Structure 1
C-alpha cells in the first residue's frame, strides 16, 4: 500500500493533470494517463533516489501500467 501512495504522489508531482481518482486508473498505461517517456524516466529516477530501488530498462519495459509498477516495487 505504501508503494501505491508513493507512486501516486510521484506521478502527480510530475504531471498534476493526471487523474488517479478511481482504482481503474491504476490499470491504465502511462501513455493513457498522459505521461510520456521523459515523465516515466523522471519518476523512475525519483524512485531510485527516494526508495533506493533501481529499475533498469529491461524491467521498465515490462511495466506497462501503474499497477504493474506498484506490484514491482511491492516485491522489492
Structure 2
C-alpha cells in the first residue's frame, strides 16, 4: 500500500517482493546510447543558450550606452 496525499507510492516491502520487468540487455544498451546522444545535444544547446544570453546582455548594454550619449538618432543642434 502506498502512502501520500492523493498520490499512491510503492512501499519498500511491496517493492522487495514485486517483479519489475526489464528490457533485454541489448535494448538497455541501445537506450543508454540514445540517452547519451541526446544529453550531448542538450549540453550543446545549453552552451549556446548561455553564449546567446551573454551576447544579448552585451547588446542591451551597448544600446543603452548609445542612447544615453545621443548616438542612436540624429541630433537636432
* Structure possessing the higher radius of gyration over alpha carbons: 2
Q: TM-score, normalised by structure 1?
A: 0.22
Q: TM-score, normalised by structure 2?
A: 0.22
Name which structure has the greater RCO, CA cutoff 8 Å, separation 6+. 1
